[in-house]
Amino acid sequence: MRFSRLFGRTLREAPSEAELISHQLALRAGLVRPLATGIYSYLPLGWRALQRIGAIVRAEMERIGAQELSMPLVQPAELWRATGRYDAPSPGPALVRFRDRNSHDMVLAMTHEEVATALARSEIDSYRQLPLIIYQIQPKFRDEPRPRGGLVRAREFLMQDAYSFDADEQGLEASYSSIHRAYLNILARCGLDVLPVEADTEMVGGGASCEFMVPHELGEDMVIRCPSCGYAANVETAGIRRGRPGGEGEAPLPLERVATPGATTITSLAHYLGVQASKTLKAVFFQSSAGELIFAVIRGDLDVNEAKLRRFLGGVELAPAAPEALRRVGIVPGYASPIGLEGVRVVADYSVREGCNWIAGANEEGYHLRNVNIPRDFCPGAVADIALARRGDPCPRCGEPLEALRCIEVGHTFKLGTRCSEALGATYRDASGASRPLMMGSYGLGLGRLLACIIEQHHDAQGIIWPFEVAPYDVHIVSLAAGDRAIEEAALNLCEHLEAQGYAVLLDDRDERAGVKFNDADLIGIPVRLTVSQRTVAQEAVELKLRSEQERRLVPQAEILAYLECLRGAGAQTGAA
């Protein structure tokens, strides 16, 4: 490709709204251009990089026997209604719904569990066809409420999604493990350092899931991990070792009403009564989308994890309860108590069950209760893990202090089980002839996010530093001809020679100053830069510079091909898992 013909231009400055460095460099290097909020066009340089990422994905998926297909982006709403996701709180408004000209309800797919299951229902009859893995690479649309970070959180995005079908849980475990390894290989070949973590099953559902996270200080996801034992989980699901609040073996004491004027927070209450926060009960109130009032009770030194509570309640949407709603059922904000309430759903954290003689509100202005005990004084409607893991909390496995770091999610795997197959009637006949629901898994990688995260982990002050396997071109030739026909011809011959050997080459043949060409080469970030000038032609050599290094070296023209082969081989080995 001749730079003079390349569609898309480089920019000296990035738009002010571009916060992440990947967003800035993708715009400046001419990889993408915005069309609308969260919607981007990929220009040739960006599309070539994306295609190379896609080639890695295809190679690793085919290595485990997965078969590529293509499923429709526009889908009938009946499928989504059958699985319950059409009207569910999640995905909620993010799922674009519309009617076609025949008044049929349709959706723009953000994922393809329903269609994949419907295909399996029509094509799989016998256990002899199992296991099976299918996948596609296709645009998706999710009407994100807050698109940000360029390709990191876009509304339209390119995704590799895969679906496995097995006869039983043992088969699902094998398929899940093979795709997990394939994803790790893909991410390694893309040059990414990732952290697999336990995660929420979100709107997809199922028994378990794993997210592939790229650590980043501006990432939207918070990951909790233990540096001692390696435990790692999204904060939405991360556990903690609660321990006991003290007073082991103490007997329940009589309930006592005490004056606590102005003590409307856990901190002020603990200070007023001279106790540790861990001896108090914290009350947190939510209202569900159906109008139900939720009273979450947790040990005073802990915080409620809304995502855990929401998942425990079946995925309902939750919002903070208004003070007026609390007062209508006899709850006094700041002095709330779970004792004697009616018409309120009380969910207690496991930490509440482990203590004795708690201090809790009295539902009376200026008063609390000492020596509150379960089940003598109140019985919660349910007890569950609803505690938020925080930096410094004890690891649930080894008890050592936890760390917290921000990350960007690039992939997610789910053990669906029979959730979709039972809803859509996707079955197979086992060896005895009995009909059984297919055991399913769902898996996804965001290719646009991969591209953005590659830039986040591979750049410097001058621009992008592409890993060899995902660079839009292998070699960037800079011709410093300044109108000299002999130099122009030497650069063109070198380009054609390398292209004939299978290298993708970008030849900068523009009538520009050397500084402009070198700056653009650093910005675009092709792994190898070859400069052809009067000096190099006179010495029958080429100046070679790796984008990842500062050193420049003269390489004889006769040796340049062998040199590049060595570099390409080293680059492939660097990305191998």
- Tokens representing 358 are 């708690």
Residue type, 77: A
Cβ atoms 508, 1 nearer than 8 A: no
Domain boundary (355, 384, 413) is at: 384
Does 194 map to a domain?
yes
Phi-psi region of 205 (alpha: psi -120 to 50; beta: other; left: phi over 0): left
Q: What pLDDT tens digit does each residue of the chain (577 aa) get?
A: 999 999 999 999 988 889 999 999 999 999 999 999 999 999 999 999 999 999 999 999 999 999 999 999 999 999 999 999 999 878 889 999 999 999 999 999 999 999 999 999 999 999 999 999 999 999 999 999 889 899 999 999 999 999 999 999 999 999 999 999 999 999 999 999 999 998 876 555 556 789 999 999 999 999 999 999 999 999 999 999 987 665 556 789 999 999 999 999 999 999 999 999 999 999 999 999 888 999 999 999 999 999 999 989 987 889 999 988 999 899 999 999 999 888 899 999 999 988 899 999 999 999 999 999 999 999 999 999 999 999 999 999 999 999 999 999 999 999 999 999 999 999 999 999 999 999 999 999 999 999 999 999 999 999 999 999 999 999 999 999 988 999 999 999 999 999 999 999 999 999 999 999 999 999 999 999 999 999 999 999 999 999 999 999 999 999 999 989 988 777 655 544 3
**Residues 116 and 23 occupy one common structural domain:** yes
pLDDT at res. 574: 55
**Residues 450 and 479 occupy one common structural domain:** no
Cβ atoms 194, 215 nearer than 8 A: no
Does 335 map to a domain?
yes
From residue 212, give the alpha-carbon distance in Å to each of 147, 197, 209, 259, 450.
Answer: 20, 6, 10, 51, 11
Domain boundary (334, 353, 384) is at: 384
In which element (H, E) is residue 59 found?
helix 44-63
Does 438 map to a domain?
yes
**Residues 293 and 327 occupy one common structural domain:** yes
The distance in angstroms from the start CA to the end CA of the chain is: 32
How many domains in the chain? 3
- 3-class SS of residue 51: helix
Domain with 201 in it: what CATH number?
Answer: 3.30.930.10
Please report which residue ranges of 209-357 form alpha helices under DSSP H: 266-273, 306-312, 323-328, 350-353
Does 1 map to a domain?
no
pLDDT at res. 248: 58
List all residues 6 or more positions away from 292 whose beta carbon is below 8 Å from its beta carbon.
316, 345
Does 464 map to a domain?
no
What distance in Å separates the CA atoms of residue 51 and residue 68, rounded to the nearest whole number?
15
What distance in Å separates the CA atoms of residue 250 and residue 503, rounded to the nearest whole number?
76
pLDDT at res. 577: 39
Domain carrying residue 189: 17-72+109-223+404-456
* Nearest alpha carbon to residue 514 among 498, 538, 539, 536: 536
Phi-psi region of 149 (alpha: psi -120 to 50; beta: other; left: phi over 0): left
What distance in Å separates the CA atoms of residue 79 and residue 113, rounded to the nearest whole number?
10
**Residues 128 and 171 occupy one common structural domain:** yes
List all residues 6 or more positions away from 327 whose beta carbon is below 8 Å from its beta carbon.
333
In which element (H, E) is residue 410 found?
strand 403-417
**Residues 493 and 564 occupy one common structural domain:** yes
For the entire predicted model, the pTM comes to 0.89
**Residues 139 and 186 occupy one common structural domain:** yes
**Residues 59 and 182 occupy one common structural domain:** yes
pLDDT at res. 561: 93
pLDDT at res. 89: 79
- Tokens representing 479 are 């011709």
Handedness of CA 243, 245, 250, 256 (dihedral sign): negative
Does 363 map to a domain?
yes
Helices (H) and strands (E) in the chain, counts: 15, 29
Please report which residue ranges of 396-552 form alpha helices under DSSP H: 419-424, 447-457, 485-500, 514-524, 534-538
Domain with 320 in it: what CATH number?
Answer: 3.90.960.10
Does 247 map to a domain?
no
- The residues pairing with 435 across neighbouring beta strands, listed in sequence order, are 429
Domain with 505 in it: what CATH number?
Answer: 3.40.50.800
**Residues 410 and 344 occupy one common structural domain:** no
DSSP code of 322? P
List all residues 6 or more positions away from 42 whose beta carbon is below 8 Å from its beta carbon.
31, 32, 50
- The residues pairing with 106 across neighbouring beta strands, listed in sequence order, are 76, 98
- Tokens representing 401 are 């202090």
- The residues pairing with 415 across neighbouring beta strands, listed in sequence order, are 208, 441
Phi first, then psi, for residue 161 (nearest 5°) are: -125, 140
- 3-class SS of residue 69: coil
- The residues pairing with 417 across neighbouring beta strands, listed in sequence order, are 440
* Nearest alpha carbon to residue 73 among 37, 109, 26: 109
In which element (H, E) is residue 554 found?
strand 552-556
pLDDT at res. 566: 87
**Residues 264 and 191 occupy one common structural domain:** no
**Residues 301 and 215 occupy one common structural domain:** no
Does 228 map to a domain?
no
What distance in Å separates the CA atoms of residue 543 and residue 546, rounded to the nearest whole number?
10
**Residues 495 and 452 occupy one common structural domain:** no
Instruction: Say which residue the tokens 């920019």 belong to.
Output: 11
**Residues 58 and 201 occupy one common structural domain:** yes
CB-count burial class (<10 Å; 0-12, 13-18, 19+) for 556:
exposed
